[in-house]
Amino acid sequence: MSVYGFILPDLPPIEKCFYRESSKIASMSQEEVNRWRKENNNITCDDLKDGEKRRIPNPVCTFEDAFEHYPGIMTNIKKVGFQRPTPIQSQAWPIILQGFDLIGIAQTGTGKTLAYLMPGFIHLDLQPREKRGGPGMLVLTPTRELALQVEAECSKYSYKGIKSICIYGGGDRKGQISMVTKGVDIIIATPGRLNDLQMNNFINLRSITYLVLDEADRMLDMGFEPQIMKILLDIRPDRQTVMTSATWPDGVRRLAKSYLKDPMIVYVGTLDLAAVNTVEQKVIVIPEEEKKAFTRFFIDNMKSEDKVIIFVGKKLVADDLSSDFGLQGIPVQSLHGNREQCDREQALEDFKKGKVRILIATDLASRGLDVQDITHVFNFDFPRNIEEYVHRVGRTGRAGRTGEAVTLVTRNDWRVASELIDILERGNQIIPEELILMAERFKQFQLKKGMERDTGRLHGRSRKKN
């Protein structure tokens, strides 16, 4: 079998369409569909296929609308006790179940993992497993933490004996190779470790028919594009592909254009990074040397039920703060790249279960951290860009709860002051006068620098003439 010049020896054709639209959903008028999308996080959809546009499937309003004909899926959903699908699930499920490639633009914490996992289970189950000869579904994630969370969701919603494995750097490589060799249905992996096993012929990806690129923007930010390209070269091009991303920059658009075929795109919320409406954002302009004292003041005023994640810019700062709080008798955990994998997993477990109510973390944990009851995000250091600010803030105010984000800003952060003001304005938040002055000073500094540069050029030209 040959597809787009790619030879597929002895591989069966892929079944992709498993959706039967309920009469209730089919009878929705366009006005009802538009109103539903507007009321559910302002969802917008588009068909990116060239030429004549296809009809975007109507969103499903209940789990039964999507999975009425899949009792195993419904049993798992009822076991967990969910009331109704999240907005991204409602719109993504009918698209994916009809076999289309999908791009989902949504923040973390919006239910995007189940948006691709549930259709993935059905897709896998209805392929001829005995002819497949290897794993059928691959989920690529930027970090091991996110990979482990996706694996946990796979296990929680185990469906018809489908086996999954998590492959990531820092884990037991021999054990991972052994598991893959024995046979699995779903691989959840970080690009680096999967590329390592692929290049050493420990894993065959030609049997993959359902591919997920989860948090594609983050993978590109972390420099994984070369590994992703090598991985995708071994996967059959007639696969079905789902891509999720919190943002829609040029790099992600390029990746989508290269590796997805005629996708539909679903935006949850707006693309302009307005932070979650359920989060109250407070910005404190403060001298660098007073940050520790203010952080201690904040912790002393926490309520017993509060749970806070403190974001810092460097691993050393995370260790420094953890040590300080430990000496003061304040129980904390820390999460950063220099900690052993088992220690990181323990830190997350302690925080999730409430053994500690303060987690100090670098941006490693700002994506994919799946803890529903975080009441506060505390930005000890401002992140490297405004996008990361939004991702951090999104760790609280999840699953319909309200949350609070406190951000310390020093004079060193003046270059992002204007963008931060923009985010605060869009969220109807209070903007400190000092932040406005900081933005104005940076603007004047930029103008002055530009004028000096122009003056220097003019002097250079006049010297050449003389």
Can you list the domains of the chain with their CATH numbers? Answer: 2-267 (3.40.50.300), 279-443 (3.40.50.300)
Burial 11-41 (b: 16+ CB within 10 A, else e): beebebebbebbeebeebeeeebeebbeebb
CA 347 to chain centre: 20
Given CA atoms 189, 191, 197, 201 in this order, what sign does their dihedral have? positive
User: What is residue 271's predicted lDDT score, i.e. its pLDDT?
Assistant: 40
| CA 40 – CA 88 distance, rounded (Å) | 9
Look-up of token digits 């923040």: 107
Query: What are the φ and ψ backbone dihedral angles of 330, each rounded to 5 degrees?
Result: -100, 115
User: Residue 89: which of 110, 73, 74 has the closest Cα?
Assistant: 110
pTM for the complete prediction? 0.64
User: What is residue 342's predicted lDDT score, i.e. its pLDDT?
Assistant: 85
Cβ contacts of 46-54, under 8 Å, gap ≥ 24: 46/264, 46/265, 47/262, 47/264, 48/103, 48/256, 48/262, 48/263, 48/264, 48/265, 49/262, 49/263, 50/262, 54/100, 54/264
Q: 209 and 236 in contact (C-beta within 8 Å)?
A: yes
Longest dimension (CA), the chain: 86
| CA 405 – CA 424 distance, rounded (Å) | 12
User: What is residue 1's predicted lDDT score, i.e. its pLDDT?
Assistant: 45
Cβ contacts of 31-34, under 8 Å, gap ≥ 24: 33/58, 33/59
Give the pairing of strands 333-335 and 358-361.
parallel
Q: 78 and 157 in contact (C-beta within 8 Å)?
A: no
Look-up of token digits 């997350």: 348
| CA 21 – CA 26 distance, rounded (Å) | 6
| CA 315 – CA 336 distance, rounded (Å) | 6
> How big is the CA angle at 125 (ends 119 and 129), to the nearest 5 degrees?
140
> How big is the CA angle at 196 (ends 191 and 200), to the nearest 5 degrees?
145
- Rounded to 10°, the helix 225-233/250-259 angle is 10
CA distances from 212 to 95, 271, 309, 379, 423 (A): 14, 21, 28, 31, 30
Beta strands in 219-293 (DSSP E): 240-245, 264-267, 279-285
User: What is residue 368's predicted lDDT score, i.e. its pLDDT?
Assistant: 57
User: What is residue 170's predicted lDDT score, i.e. its pLDDT?
Assistant: 82
User: What is residue 216's predicted lDDT score, i.e. its pLDDT?
Assistant: 94
At 422, the amino acid letter reads D
Look-up of token digits 């289309």: 100
| CA 337 – CA 350 distance, rounded (Å) | 18
User: What is residue 457's predicted lDDT score, i.e. its pLDDT?
Assistant: 52
In order along its 466 residues, the chain shows pLDDT tens digits of 444 445 555 678 899 999 999 999 999 999 999 999 888 877 889 999 988 889 999 999 999 999 999 999 999 888 887 888 989 999 999 999 999 999 999 877 788 999 999 999 999 999 887 777 789 999 999 998 899 999 999 988 878 889 999 999 888 889 888 888 888 999 999 999 999 999 998 998 999 999 999 999 889 888 899 999 999 999 999 999 999 998 787 788 899 999 999 999 998 865 444 445 678 999 999 999 999 999 999 999 999 999 999 999 998 999 999 999 999 999 999 988 778 878 888 988 999 999 999 999 987 655 556 788 899 999 999 987 776 788 788 888 876 678 999 999 999 999 889 889 988 887 789 999 999 999 999 888 888 876 766 565 555 555 555 5
User: Residue 359: which of 342, 340, 378 has the closest Cα?
Assistant: 378
| Strand ordering across the sheet containing 240-245 | 44-47, 264-267, 102-105, 240-245, 210-213, 137-140, 186-189, 164-167
Length of the chain: 466
Q: 184 and 216 in contact (C-beta within 8 Å)?
A: no
